[in-house]
Amino acid sequence: MDVSGGGESSVATPVQQKAHEAWRIYQHYLDKTTPLPTYRWIATAVVSLAFCLRVFYIQGFYIIAYGLGIYLLNLLIGFLSPLVDPEATGGSDGPSLPTRGSDEFKPFIRRLPEFKFWYSMTKAFCIAFVMTFFSVFDVPVFWPILLCYWIVLFVLTMRRQISHMIKYKYIPFSFGKQKYGGRSSSSGSRAE
């Protein structure tokens, strides 16, 4: 028998046990959504639509919407950026992504994977939606200025990101299975 009580501190309280069980159930359902990106994005679209409709009908909480927009822009930049930035690893050495057909194939690895992008985005919309139920977050602002500022910020950031993509010759999207010419194209040119 432990008199110091050190052995009893490792025993979880009933509240902690219930919280842990709820977290495990949540994680189980989250893991089940991993192979279903279409349904995940549809659910996110529904949550974002609910947030937008709430802000529209209440005619308030524009500062929450602006903060959400800035956060989503930050997530988008992470989603479009490579894990290893060629500028940060020594831009003078040249691009690390393949630029010629003879270069080794290096797949595009995102700084922010699609699942984490989706999860962070959905969580942000849910938190912003809940914040619209508390009047303390309804700061009176002139929303057209916030909207114009966000649009300018978006355009400048995307222009910088696109010029980075062009400079280092990478495309953060892949559409379908990539087809390689392989030997058939090189052997056909030798036969002529």
pLDDT digits (tens, 9 = 90+) for 50-68: 999 999 999 999 999 999 9
Is residue 48 predicted with pLDDT exceeding 70?
A: yes
pTM: 0.74
Is residue 39 predicted with pLDDT exceeding 90?
A: yes
pLDDT of residue 190: 47
User: Given pLDDT bands bounded at 50, 70 and 90, which one contains residue 191?
Assistant: very low
- The DSSP line for 94-131 is --SS--STTSPP----BSS-HHHHHHHHHHHHHHHHHH
pLDDT of residue 108: 75
pLDDT of residue 153: 95
pLDDT of residue 165: 85
Phi first, then psi: what are they for 100, rounded to 5°?
-120, 165
pLDDT of residue 104: 65
**82 in helix, strand or coil?**
strand
User: Given pLDDT bands bounded at 50, 70 and 90, which one contains residue 167?
Assistant: confident
pLDDT of residue 88: 72
Cα–Cα distance, 6 to 9 (Å, whole number): 6
**27 burial type by CB count under 10 A (0-12 exposed, 13-18 middle, 19+ buried):** exposed
* Least reliable range by pLDDT among 2-11, 76-85, 141-150: 2-11
